Each structure stands twice: as structure tokens, then as C-alpha cells.
Chain A
């Protein structure tokens, strides 16, 4: 006889937020934050390189520009307003991400790496190839060492 009461409670359980989500935050706000974060991450670069086979060395700076644009938009658009401070921090983060590979490509740094012979990124690139190309464990096939993140 208590089944009716339990059934009445059931829909409420489905509308509860998952434990990792703050119940006071709207789901749409989380989706917007997720979408914005994907836009200002390396996701556009992955899509361009992996799906469209495009070389996009300028993408880091494009993402910086996009982040600045979104930050400016967040000051005006109510939907994005809650993300304004987050986007301000991400402008600084993305500038740092864009600067580091540029510093690595400076001629004096390249010469120093070459003088050292087997520098750490080149060792890592061999390891990456061994993992990516089964049967080619001799490390012959090498990709250029990308900017180094751990």
C-alpha cells in the first residue's frame, strides 16, 4: 500500500543533481562552461589536425584571441557573466601556453638542444612512437618533439 508513495518519490530522485554537481547551479550553466572551456582548450587544434589534417601553428594565438573575445563578451552577455573571472584567468593561462613553444623555437634554444644530442623531448618522442606504432620498436620512425607538457 505504500507503493504509491514510493512511486511519487521516484521522479524527484531523477531530477536530483549528480553528487559531483552543486544542486544550486543550473545544468545549463555547467554546459555553457563546458562548451566555453572546450573552445579555449586545445580541442580546436585537435579537430583541425586530426580530423581536417590541417597544420595550424597559429592556433595557440588564435585561442588566446578567442579567450580575450569571450572574456570581453562575458562582460556584456548575461549568460556568460558568471564566467568572466574564469575567462580572465584563462587569458593569462592561454598566453603562457602560447608563449612556451615560441620560446622553445628560439634559435639559441634550438642550438642548445642540438648540442646536447639526445635531449629529453627527443627521447620522449621515440617513446611515443614506440607506443603508437606496434612493431616499429626500433625508434626509427620519429615525430618532431612537440612542446613539452607533463
Chain B
């Protein structure tokens, strides 16, 4: 929750136009929600569930989560939001949390839900800014 608030303050609010009409922004918010769900589901399936299911057999679940978090963080160095070294650290840290959620719940629902909540903030503010 703290991470989401920090994300909004650091990333989201500077993107908002000076005048903001919530009613007119509803389509952008809906687009943000759909895009966030698709992205969260795709990344959790392709970058976590698939590789982690195989890697944990080789090196154990804990080390598997750490190694894949590094892969995920590095993958966001270019093009991630945030990107660069900051993006690497931030998304790597989030990936540790999501990976642990996947191992502990032995399922996709919690990691996708957590990932969605983060992406929803990012996508919604981007969608609102792109319409402004």
C-alpha cells in the first residue's frame, strides 16, 4: 500500500493535467484497468509462473524467486516505468514480493492481483495524461 501511494506521488500526480475532470477521464481509467490486468496476467504467467515452476526444481523456491527477481528487474532497465537503475531496484524488489506470493499461495491469483494494483496506477495515469 505504501508503495502504491509512493508510486502515485512520485510518478502519477506529475503526469496529471492542470485541470482534471474525473467524469471525462472514466474511459481512460477503464482502459488503464484493462491494460493493467492484461499486462499483469501476461508478465506473471510468462516471467514468473513458467520459469519459476522449473527453476524451483533445480535450486529451490527461495533461490528461484531471488534469481527470477533479478531477471525481472534487469528486464525493466530499458522501457520500464520506472526505468534505469532505479527501475531495476524497484521492479526487482516488487518481483521478490510477487514471487514469494506465488510460492506461498501456490497460485497465480495473488501475484496477479498485486501486480494489477501497481500497473493500474501506472497505466491509468499514463492513459489520462495521453488523453490530455
A contacts, CB < 8 Å to B: 19-22, 24-25, 29-30, 33-34, 37-38, 41-43, 45-46, 49, 82-83, 85-86, 88-90, 92-93, 96-97, 116, 118-120, 123-124, 127-128, 130-132, 145-150
Contacts and interface: CB of A to CB of B under 8 A. Distances in A.
B84 interface: yes
B56 to A, nearest CB: 8
Contacts of B60: 21-22, 24-25, 30
B62 A19 contact: yes
**Interface on chain A toward B: helix, strand, loop, or mixed SS?**
helix
5 contacts: A83-B55, A93-B47, A124-B81, A146-B83, A150-B80
Interface in B100-132: 119, 122-123, 126-127, 129-130
Nearest to A40: B71
A96 B50 CA distance: 13
B67 interface: yes
Interface of B: 11, 14-15, 39, 43, 46-47, 50-51, 53-55, 57-68, 70-71, 74-84, 86, 119, 122-123, 126-127, 129-130
Contacts of B77: 42, 46
Given A20-B66, A29-B59, A38-B70, 18 more contacts: A20-B62, A20-B65, A22-B61, A22-B62, A30-B63, A34-B67, A38-B74, A43-B74, A82-B57, A86-B55, A89-B50, A89-B51, A93-B47, A124-B126, A127-B15, A146-B83, A150-B76, A150-B122
A20 B11 CA distance: 32
A25 B50 contact: no
Q: Which of B58, B67, B80, B123 has the most CB of A within 10 A?
A: B58
